[in-house]
Amino acid sequence: MSTLGQDTLKTRRTLTVGDKAYAYYSLKAAEAAVGDVSCLPFSLKVLLENLLRFEDGRSVTADDIRAVAAWTTDRGRAGHEIAFRPARVLMQDFTGVPAVVDLAAMRDAMAALGGDPARINPQVPVDLVIDHSVMVDSWGGPDSLARNMELEFARNGERYAFLRWGQGAFDNFRVVPPGTGICHQVNCEYLAQVAWSADGLVYPDTLVGTDSHTTMVGGMAVLGWGVGGIEAEAAMLGQPLSMLIPEVVGFRLSGSLREGVTATDLVLTVTEMLRAKGVVGKFVEFFGPGLSSMALPDRLTIGNMAPEYGATCGFFPIDAETLRFLAFTGRDPHRVALVEAYARAQGLWRDETTPDPLFTETLELELGTVEPSLSGPKRPQDRVALSAAKAGFDTFVPAAEQSPRVPLSNGRGDLGHGDVVIAAITSCTNTSNPSVMLAAGLVAQKAVARGLRVKPWVKTSLAPGSQVVPDYLAAAGLQESLDSLGFTVAGFGCTTCIGNSGPLDPAIAEAIDGNNLVVAAVLSGNRNFEGRISPHVKANYLASPPLVVAYALAGSMRLDLSRDPLGIGADGQPVHLHDIWPSTAEIQAAMERALSPDSYRRRYADVFKGPALWQQVPVTTGQTYDWPARSTYIHHPPYFTDMAPLPPQGFADIQGARALAILGDSITTDHISPAGSIKPSSPAGTWLVAHGVAPADFNSYGSRRGHDAVMTRGTLANVRIRNEIAPGHEGGVTRLNGAGEVLSIFDAAMAYQAQGTPLVVVAGKEYGTGSSRDWAAKGTYLLGVKAVVAESFERIHRSNLVGMGVLPLQFPAGTDRKILGLDGTETFSVRGLSEGLKPRQTLTLEITHADGRRHQVPVLCRIDTVDEVEYFRHGGILHYVLRSLAG
């Protein structure tokens, strides 16, 4: 942890809990100098405490503290920059491996600069949970869990050996082994403490994570959000995260959910409302009487989806339910007492008598108006009522365009448009919530009792985020019914939701691809972007776990489950969804019967030990890593090659750039840097084959994020991306100078690099939405892209671009690529950089068309803070940190 600050406001106090005394920085004591802060949103009180604790007169000043205290006057619209230091960092392995690769490379670079490699070491606690590498290769059988874990270790041995080296080489760095659970669920059930304590000091538990759904922990009053691996590495190394004091949108909840409505239905409704409201870059804090009856797992579900509704975080205050959850999940009784005492002392406690905080603006939801819902077929915010889901699919693929059903080559029936080929209970979003998981089990139990079976073309899987889940499903007598419908446990990790859905039956994949069928996946996850779930599936729907089971039984999106039968029962009579849907009382009874704190204590008692396969992974030692020469998983990245001890003094204009890609709206980090399967014909696939890797052993892009050669070739390589420079084509292709032959984006980038031609990417609105994927910025940088010009940016991706030395530029309102008539034949120059750079400065984008016409467009430079200007001057945040530590 960085050295504590000066405390010029004299706010340090003592809190005694039991027989232990703790120092803390008192918000109430600060009021003598900064005024009343009692009406601040709870999330901002956490930020204020952070500034009090780290005031040093440089990165945090008394004026910064006063600016947060005065938030109720400007409500976050003043644009004041502050420095935030989280208590800890959370990683998953897809994003954590490249972060550790970077740290290892920084140690080498530090040695090359004549410094001590050991100075590259986490300064705050870091937990990496290996949860993103398991794939659903085997499903529906009693040995699926063991088989998938064996394949996971066989594929990822190099990565896991590297992480075991890192576990020993770095201080403050722990690894939760594979097969334990999903990082966010492990975080909420074990790692998070709500009130953190170290060195005799107590303070709010805060974190940043290298996964966008780090926000889940906001449901238990822990302030945290996703950042790119680049920012996380800086935080690990003791650098503050620069941010603007945010606007805070208050979301008032009242009433209670109706019978038959799940927490998933609620969160899909909240996501739709907040996305329509527009909360990008803002905090969202939940308040109102509805909180008093809301179980903490339901709050976690809402916090989890903050990236989908666009907010930096979704935050709930500390109350009696928070304490109940901490105790029930096996936290030490002293910790629970400390959380309550600290929250009450700091004004962070909420109960029915607490006045509502002030907010920038508010909106409200009466919980009784929520109805059963799904979201799809392409975006999490596209909520559709269950009763309208059939009509929604028919709009996506009109009946008139739907060809006849296709016989399967294996002789096991036929397949048609709208058939559900994947039904997956997966993801941290819902497998963390016992009410919806037990509801799924009850639906399965009732379905089996009525003689229903899953349709033969549906691939079913159950991948809980915690080992506690099958414990309580078994204790409730429900796992057997799920097993009989094919929902056997396939793994403890992030599977289908991240794109690790595994292969479809070859006959089904052949029928889909050979006949251009639009089939569907229904999953209990948080992401359903194009090309993410499976390369064969174009329509993807998010739904509650019990609805996943229901759609597996129905087998099609072309049924209205609110009216049409799911199938015919053993008695020859139709069975409808309402016939097998459990009541709230049944779900509550199952929870009371099955849930136990003992299960949490037992499962987390030795959480860092891991299975036998993990313990057998070979371990190397040493301060620096001995990079394996022939590895296709781990490679020394080129970021610090020939790095000068000092950065350039100024900035240079970009001259004569070409557009590598011109893209539309809502380009996600999945489009920019896919996480799923690697096509053999792609540049990455071709490279792997050339290096002796058979297509069956390609694994996924996500698992190969430790190797820059694979990931650079995978940049802008999503099979569904559409580059307007190459109209009529789908996938990662372009045309040289906008007029040449169609070739891969990677090959074009290499041709431009050989010519010494800088590159730009042009895009529409919401560029970079989705997962906080640092390779979306790293790959962009390594392709030679100097600037991205878009109508708007997603928060994390904008920051990551700056962190890699790529310039984010924003078109003014009313100007876009279409109005400018861009087609890739133009050249681009960015003027004004050479005159100096300030945060959010207006620069000039000069566009020269092939016929000689010239446009000069004012663009907003989205380097938002003074610190970011310095990062950009150094060539990226890692270069800045490395030079700072080298002295």
Contacts of 522 (CB under 8 A, 6+ apart): 374, 420, 422, 423, 424, 540, 541, 543, 547, 548, 551, 552, 557
3-state secondary structure (DSSP) of residue 121: coil
Q: Give the strand pairing for 12-17 and 20-25.
A: antiparallel
Displacement of CA 134 from its chain's centroid (Å): 17
Backbone angles phi, psi at 351, to 5 degrees: -145, -170
CA 380 → CA 314, 527, 541, distances in Å? 16, 6, 8
Answer whether 546's CB lies under 8 Å from 373's CB: no
Residue whose C-alpha is closest to residue 373's, from 383, 359, 363: 383
Question: E strands within 463-618?
Answer: 520-523, 539-542, 567-568, 574-575
Specify the CATH number of the domain 88-369: 3.30.499.10
Domain boundaries, the chain: 12-84, 88-369, 373-595, 654-886
Q: What is the pLDDT of residue 110?
A: 95
* Residues 148-183: tens digit of each pLDDT: 999 999 989 999 999 999 999 999 999 999 999 999
Domain 654-886 has CATH 3.20.19.10: yes
3-state secondary structure (DSSP) of residue 586: helix
Please tell me what DSSP assigns to residue 663: -
3-state secondary structure (DSSP) of residue 247: coil
Helix 144-169 to helix 93-112 angle (10° resolution) is: 20
- Find the largest Cα–Cα distance for the chain: 81
* Residues 284-311: tens digit of each pLDDT: 999 999 999 999 999 999 999 999 999 9
Residues forming beta bridges with residue 845, ordered by sequence position = 830, 857
d(CA 618, CA 372) in angstroms, rounded, equals 49
Answer whether 823's CB lies under 8 Å from 848's CB: no
Cβ-in-10-Å burial (0-12, 13-18, 19+) of 143 comes to exposed
Contacts of 25 (CB under 8 A, 6+ apart): 7, 11, 12, 13, 49, 52, 53, 203
3-state secondary structure (DSSP) of residue 64: helix
Displacement of CA 40 from its chain's centroid (Å): 28
| DSSP tally for the chain: helices H, then strands E | 32, 34
For CA atoms 385, 226, 651, 783, the dihedral sign is: negative
3-state secondary structure (DSSP) of residue 20: strand
Answer whether 69's CB lies under 8 Å from 37's CB: yes
Residue whose C-alpha is closest to residue 737's, from 649, 623, 638, 848: 848
Please report, to the nearest 10 degrees, the dihedral formed by the alpha carbons of residues 329, 331, 337, 342 taken in order: -90
d(CA 720, CA 666) in angstroms, rounded, equals 13
Specify the CATH number of the domain 373-595: 3.30.499.10
Residue 89 is inside which H or E element, if any?
strand 88-92
Q: In three state form, how does the secondary structure of 160-213 look?
A: HHHHHHHHHHCCCEEEECCCCECHHHHHHHHHCCCEEEECCEEEECEEEECCHH
CA 461 → CA 458, 482, 500, 549, distances in Å? 10, 10, 11, 10
CA 808 → CA 597, 788, 830, 845, distances in Å? 48, 5, 11, 12
Residue 39 is inside which H or E element, if any?
none
Contacts of 755 (CB under 8 A, 6+ apart): none
d(CA 367, CA 258) in angstroms, rounded, equals 8
3-state secondary structure (DSSP) of residue 659: strand
The residue written with tokens 């409302």 in the block is 273
Rg from Cα positions in the chain: 26
Own/partner pairs, 470-473, CB within 8 angstroms, 24+ separation: 471/599, 471/603, 472/434, 472/437, 472/438, 472/591, 472/594, 472/595, 472/596, 472/599, 473/437, 473/438, 473/441, 473/594
d(CA 89, CA 399) in angstroms, rounded, equals 49
Please tell me what DSSP assigns to residue 459: E
Contacts of 602 (CB under 8 A, 6+ apart): none
Residue whose C-alpha is closest to residue 25's, from 3, 1, 54, 2: 54
Backbone angles phi, psi at 614, to 5 degrees: -70, -40
d(CA 204, CA 220) in angstroms, rounded, equals 12
3-state secondary structure (DSSP) of residue 556: strand
d(CA 697, CA 510) in angstroms, rounded, equals 20
Residues in the chain with pLDDT values less than 70: 1-3, 400, 772
How many Cα atoms within 13 Å fall on the side-chain side of residue 418? 22
d(CA 878, CA 871) in angstroms, rounded, equals 8
CA 252 → CA 286, 290, 366, 872, distances in Å? 6, 8, 8, 40
Q: What is the pLDDT of residue 228?
A: 81
Q: What is the pLDDT of residue 2?
A: 43
Q: Does 88-369 match 654-886 in CATH topology?
A: no
Q: Which two tokens stand for residue 841?
A: 């400065």
Q: In three state form, how does the secondary structure of 762-783 look?
A: ECCCCECECCCCCHHHHHHHHC
Cβ-in-10-Å burial (0-12, 13-18, 19+) of 174 comes to middle
3-state secondary structure (DSSP) of residue 345: helix
The residue written with tokens 């996703």 in the block is 226
pTM: 0.87
Backbone angles phi, psi at 761, to 5 degrees: -120, 135
**For residue 574, which amino acid is it?**
P
d(CA 757, CA 622) in angstroms, rounded, equals 41
CA 396 → CA 378, 399, 519, distances in Å? 10, 9, 11
Residue whose C-alpha is closest to residue 441's, from 492, 468, 489, 481: 481
